[in-house]
A and B are shown apart, each in its own frame.
Chain A
Amino acid sequence: EPEVTQTPSHQVTQMGQEVILRCVPISNHLYFYWYRQILGQKVEFLVSFYNNEISEKSEIFDDQFSVERPDGSNFTLKIRSTKLEDSAMYFCASSEWGWSQETQYFGPGTRLLVL
């Protein structure tokens, strides 16, 4: 069964550095998402992406964040200048059509630690 994959599984970075988190959504899916979960807190929506454009974004997704589909398979989340509070588990997800009643398929996550 196809799965969403994410790399790296863990990343440690210094405050102020740029990080790029990578995701490969399920191949026939059209909608892609990033969520994050700070340790001990809720899973929070960051952004959704469709047809090479941001479809929705949350208030968390400020100018420090960007998303891109650099090629036909990868979907990336870039954090320009990391802060301590960006330390979290970042989940990528995809869905076939982006309908509200659809299942979203999640990747295993990237654990980001900002020192």
Chain B
Amino acid sequence: AQRVTQPEKLLSVFKGAPVELKCNYSYSGSPELFWYVQYSRQRLQLLLRHISRESIKGFTADLNKGETSFHLKKPFAQEEDSAMYYCALSHSSGSRLTFGEGTQLTVNP
């Protein structure tokens, strides 16, 4: 069965500091990995997905199949990055998303 783990419930950094939100997964097949974000009082929305290999709002994430990880990184955090971040996995035989527990990121001024 697929599983996504985000070990940090809360993460607090100062503006301008690097940030890394951890995500590990277990899945026997070939997973599709995503990061979704929920800003305060807004809906869940896609931040980025591994297949696109893009940088969104300065965030990047690399799929490491050896370590079964998909950590989200940003070199210089901004206050507007404060939000709840969810790592999610979709298995190749369907499109249901399995979510991690979420990490609440707070970027302090």
Chain A interfacial positions (CB closer than 8 Å to B): 3-4, 31, 33, 35, 41-45, 48, 55-56, 58, 91, 95, 98-109
Closest A residue to B30 using CB positions: A100
Q: How far is the CA of A63 from the CA of B46 in the complex (A)?
A: 31
Residues of B within 8 A of A35 (CB): 97
Residues of A within 8 A of B95 (CB): 31, 33, 48, 56, 95, 98-100, 102, 104
Beyond A43-B99, A58-B96, 13 additional pairs, beta carbon < 8 A: A31-B95, A33-B95, A33-B96, A43-B86, A45-B98, A56-B95, A91-B44, A100-B91, A100-B95, A101-B49, A104-B95, A104-B97, A109-B43
Chain B interfacial positions (CB closer than 8 Å to A): 32, 34, 36, 43-46, 49, 51, 86, 90-102
A56's partner among B32, B43, B96, B101 (CB-CB below 8 A) is B96
A8 to chain B, nearest CB (A): 16
A106's partner among B45, B51, B92, B98 (CB-CB below 8 A) is B45
A92 to chain B, nearest CB (A): 10
Q: A42-B100, A43-B99 are in contact. Are A100 and B43 (CB under 8 A)?
A: no
CB distance B96 to A106 under 8 Å?
Answer: no
Q: How far is the CA of A104 from the CA of B36 in the complex (A)?
A: 10
Q: How far is the CA of A108 from the CA of B43 in the complex (A)?
A: 5
Closest A residue to B90 using CB positions: A100
Q: How far is the CA of A38 from the CA of B95 in the complex (A)?
A: 22
